[in-house]
Structure 1
Amino acid sequence: MRHRHGYRKLGRTSSHRKALHKNLAIALIINEKIETTEAKAKSLRSFIEKLITKARKGDFNAHRAVFAYLQDKEATKKLVNEIAPRYKERNGGYTRITKTRVRRGDAAPLAFIEFV
């Protein structure tokens, strides 16, 4: 049972999960809306919202902190300069998850995750 367990393992090792979050976050930042499985979307939400909160300051240290997680210059620049300033007055809740369909191959529930 996973009562009060802190995060989803997604059937991956910690390094694989970290890489998955990083790649999904980069895709979300660049495209601003992606479709993925519901579990991955829910897991990504906490990861990306923490990054946006860090990026809201907009200074050099915010760039460094975000880049440490993403390791992608283009995505870091877009997050700190374009996306994070939209949420200056908002305390959390930067993303929206919308359930879409069931994937035909493995019947996995899919969802869109996008910025509000």
Structure 2
Amino acid sequence: MRHRKKTVKLGRTSAHRNELLANQVCALIDNKRIKTTAPKAKAARSLAEKMVTLGKKGTLAARRQAIAILKNEAAVKELFDSVAPTFESRNGGYTRIIKLGRRISDSSEMVLLEWVDAVVTAAPAADAVPADEEKEVAAAE
């Protein structure tokens, strides 16, 4: 029985798991949204919410705790300066998980992990052709 055993091991050693989750949270802070597998997102969500709580405190001690966990001073600065203040009136639930379906290669459940209040603008696809050029190409043929 796994009663009161909260840690999800993700098939990694504890050091590897801690670095993985720290990198996921740093990517979430920088990009506002990350695409990952469901178990990793559920584990990273817990750490991300703890980091926002530290960011809301705003003290030097909280900043040092966040740097000790995330090991990325630029991400911690972004967390304390822009991410945490947007959640000042919220008491929890800073992230959301959106299911995307299964990955084709290994059938892993893929999800988007994103901030609740973040507005993410979708970047245009690299192979997308603007509508004006499509009309010109069609007229030329």
- TM class, shorter-length: over 0.9
Q: Which runs of 4+ in 1 moved over 6 A?
A: none
| Runs of at least 5 residues in structure 2 that lack an aligned partner in the other structure | 117-141
TM-score (ref. length: structure 2): 0.78
Give me the whole-angstrom Cα distance separating, in 2, the residues matched to 1:2 and 1:36.
Answer: 25
1:3 is displaced (CA, Å) by 4.0
- Shift in Å, 1:16: 0.7
* Separation in 1, partners of 2:3, 2:60: 39
Tell me the equivalent position of 1:43. 43
8 Å contact kept, 1:62–1:80: no
Larger relative contact order (Cα-Cα within 8 Å, sequence gap ≥ 6): 1
Corresponding residue for residue 107 of structure 2? 107
Do residues 66 (structure 1) and 77 (structure 2) align? Answer: no
Range with bigger deviation, 58-67 or 26-35: 58-67
Where do residues 25-104 of structure 1 align in structure 2 (5 Å cutoff)? Answer: 25-104=25-104
Where does structure 1 lack aligned partners over 5 or more consecutive residues? none
Shift of 1:7: 1.8
1:63: how far off? 1.7
Aligned partners of 1:98 and 1:31: how far apart in 2? Answer: 16
8 Å contact from structure 1 (residues 58, 81) kept in 2 = no
Are the equivalent residues in 2 in contact too, given 1:103–1:110 (CA < 8 A)?
yes
Q: Distance in 1 between matches of 2:111 and 2:43?
A: 12
- Per-residue CA shift, 1:53-79, capped at 9, x if unaligned? 011022322221211111111101000
Q: Could you state the TM-score of these two structures normalised by the residue count of structure 1?
A: 0.94
Count of residue pairs the alignment pairs up: 116
Q: Deviation per CA, 1:45-103, whole angstroms, max 9, x where unpaired? A: 11110111011022322221211111111101000010001111111100000110211
